[in-house]
Amino acid sequence: MTPDQTPICYIVSDSIGETAELVVKAVSSQFNAQDCEFRRIPYANDIETIKEVVQEAQHFNSLVAYTLVDPELREYMEKSTREYRIQSVDIMGPMLTSFQKLYKKSPKLEPGLVRKLDESYFKRVDAIEFAVKYDDGKDPRGILQADVTLIGVSRTSKTPLSMYLANKRIKVANLPLVPEVKPPKELFQAPKEKIIGLVIDPYKLNDIRKERLKTLGLRSQANYAKMDRILSELEFCENIIKEVGCPTIDVSNRAVEETAQKILHMIRGREENE
């Protein structure tokens, strides 16, 4: 190895190596290191892989930067790079030690957790955006794309349920059933097990709608809260649910969280049977 050789930075990770590469490139930019060659070695989960990297690196003007959560692999990397007089940087080790002292407990030592957290976050964001886009029957095409579609008359908690489930990374569309509006064809094209009908006691719905009118500053005697109107809507809803052939949940005396857990249980059961 000679000092005038083009520098090579080996980025070794037990996951895909994105974190280590970002750190290395951020630092190298401070030196205008445009001639530096970066070689990423992902999924280095055994000593043999690390040994191969070190044996190659000894022949170049090199630096080994690594993120390894396994203490045995970190120790081997440190020992072997020192033995071959290769510059090395343990990016994750010192931080793991500091957090261990901070939390007073041992780390999980599971590679790739940051990526898993990121994927979970973006799935939740996608699900929330989906719920907003396909809320209240705005676009019936969402019914065919949804993990689950909620149908029912007004004030059966379709929107709150959609948002709650979206935070669990479930893509939900919801559709209000109104006698004057013919349901979209997509409702009958989607798999019936992906549709859930929300039903409610008429007297409970009457109370809910009266309260809703009050908050809007409207008279509680409006047609929206009249019992004959409510019974007509519920009958229409029941007929559509029978035609679709989907399961139902009675939301009369259930909190949103309780109904959501029941829906999640139904989704998990469906997935196990697929």
Q: Is 88 annotated as a binding residue?
A: no
Q: Per the annotation, does 156 bind a ligand?
A: yes
Q: Which two tokens stand for residue 118?
A: 């990121």
158 is in an annotated binding site: yes
Q: Is 13 flagged in the annotation as binding?
A: no
Architecture of domain 8-111: 3-Layer(aba) Sandwich (3.40)
Q: How many other C-beta atoms lie within 10 A of the C-beta of residue 246?
A: 20
Q: Taking a C-beta distance cutoff of 8 angstroms, is the pair 153, 177 a contact?
A: yes
CB neighbour list of residue 222: distance below 8 Å, 6 or more residues apart: 213
Using a cut of 0.75, tell me whether the model's pTM lies above it.
Answer: no
- CA 50, chain centre distance (Å): 33
Q: Which part of the chain is CATH 3.40.50?
A: 8-111, 117-273
Q: Give pLDDT < 50 ranges for the chain.
A: 1-3
152 is in an annotated binding site: yes
Q: What is the pLDDT of residues 117-170, one digit of tens each?
A: 557 777 888 899 999 999 999 999 999 999 999 999 999 999 999 999 999 999
Q: Which pLDDT belongs to residue 262?
A: 96
The confidence score (pLDDT) of residue 10 equals: 95
Cα 265 vs. chain centroid, distance in angstroms? Answer: 18
Q: Which fold has domain 117-273?
A: Rossmann fold (3.40.50)
